[in-house]
Amino acid sequence: MRIEEISKLDIKLLVAFVTIMEEGSVSRAAERLDLTQPALSKSLQRLRELFNDALFTRQAYGLSPTARATELHKQVRPILRSLTELMAPVSLDVSQLNRRFRLAVSDSDLESFIEPLLDYLHHEAPDVRLSISTWNENSVEGLLNGTIDIGINPLSTTPGHIRNKLIGYAEGCIVLSSMHPLFDNDSISLKELVSHKFVTHHIKQSNNNYYFHQTLQTLQQQGYDLEPSLETESLMVAMKAVKRGMAFIVSRSIGELFQEVMCEKSNFYPVKIFPFPKELHGIEPHEDNHPIQICWHERNNNDLSHRWFREKVIQLMRETPWITPPQ
């Protein structure tokens, strides 16, 4: 071990290097590290001298790493990860934890865990606070820039630095009121479903990765017209549409909540929940279920409180009757 060479390497320089790599910008990296831009620029100059390489070149969209920088990044990240684990507390007292977790999640997924989560936090972690927004096309950027701690979504792939874990598969259903022509049926065929208007709730997500998208695409290729007559993020609007006789395609968790709420309201018609048509079973890769995953940034992977929180969310979602855990 060449101690004299290692002694020249300041850990802060490695942190600065990895942060610039992740952000692709000195200014954004400086903001994240709570440093001034000139101070971080001096660190970058020291890194260039230390490794005898430019490390980054300026492009129109930001900084582009050199081949040497890419190679160093692969070597440095495990070192910093080990140092993070070395400095991390060995235990976590959640009863004393004072932290806000920011989530981006659709109502369909939120319904499966929010009530038991709030109950758990109230009794076990009273100083933990939540900020919850709807998952949308900007949520991945929020995970990258740190304005979102956890995302729950149906995406099949995520960009670099974003970790993900499969929670399970969410069941879908069809909700009809007595105003719908198929209300008295024992089941609904695909041909019957597409012959009437329907409404969807929180369907579209970023880059067309949304619930039932693969199914709809396949069916459209087979000649079925499955374009929703109404798309809405409002359950109130969906309720009115169902009351007027439209079919409601949604997750089972929201379908049952929807049925419960409508049955308690006056002047509403009876509501029934139907499973998806049997014809979909050969099209859906997971029958009539849809994969749900939890996402977080690499920077939070070894954070003890973050790991506790995301594992609690996974646990509560897998305990719900609406989520089928992975085998």
**Hey, what's the torsion of the CAs at 273, 275, 276, 278, to 10 degrees?**
-140
What domains can you pick out in the chain, each with its CATH number?
A: 3-87 (1.10.10.10), 94-155+292-324 (3.40.190.10), 169-289 (3.40.190.10)
Taking 90 as the threshold, does the pLDDT of residue 100 lie above it?
yes
39 Ramachandran zone, left/alpha/beta (phi>0; psi -120 to 50):
alpha
- pLDDT higher at 86 or 21: 21
- pLDDT higher at 169 or 290: 169
Average pLDDT over residues 121-125: 96
Cβ 174 vs Cβ 273: under 8 Å: yes
Q: How high is the mean pLDDT of the chain? A: 83
Rounded percentage of the chain residues whose pLDDT exceeds 90: 29
Taking 60 as the threshold, does the pLDDT of residue 206 lie above it?
no
Taking 50 as the threshold, does the pLDDT of residue 1 lie above it?
no
Cβ 92 vs Cβ 305: under 8 Å: yes
Q: Count Cβ atoms below 10 Å from residue 59 Cβ, excluding itself.
A: 9
pLDDT at 8: 64
- pLDDT higher at 264 or 256: 256
Characterize the bridge pairing of strands 289-297 and 162-177: antiparallel
Taking 70 as the threshold, does the pLDDT of residue 316 lie above it?
yes
Amino acid letter, 148: I
Token code pair at residue 117 = 């989560």
Taking 60 as the threshold, does the pLDDT of residue 82 lie above it?
yes
Q: Is the pTM higher than 0.75?
A: no
At residue 182 the predicted structure's pLDDT band, cuts being 50, 70 and 90, is very high
Cβ 159 vs Cβ 110: under 8 Å: no
Taking 80 as the threshold, does the pLDDT of residue 280 lie above it?
no
Which residues are bridge partners to 130 per DSSP? 101
Contacts of 324 (CB under 8 A, 6+ apart): 168, 169, 170, 171, 289
Q: Count Cβ atoms below 10 Å from residue 46 Cβ, excluding itself.
A: 16
Q: In the 3-class helix/strand/coil scheme, how is the chain assigned residue by residue?
A: CCHHHHCCCCHHHHHHHHHHHHHCCHHHHHHHHCCCHHHHHHHHHHHHHHHCCCCEEEECCEEEECHHHHHHHHHHHHHHHHHHHHHCCCCCCHHHCCEEEEEEECHHHHCCCHHHHHHHHHHHCCCEEEEEECCCCCHHHHHHHCCCCEEEECCCCCCCCEEEEEEEEEEEEEEEECCCCCCCCCCCCHHHHHCCCEEEECCCCHHHCCCCHHHHHHHHHCCCCCCCCEEECCHHHHHHHHHCCCEEEEEHHHHHHHHHHHHHCCCCCCEEEECCCHHHHHCCCCCCEEEEEEEEEHHHCCCHHHHHHHHHHHHHHHHCCCEECCC
pLDDT at 94: 93
**Hey, what's the torsion of the CAs at 304, 107, 253, 225, to 10 degrees?**
-130
Average pLDDT over residues 69-84: 85
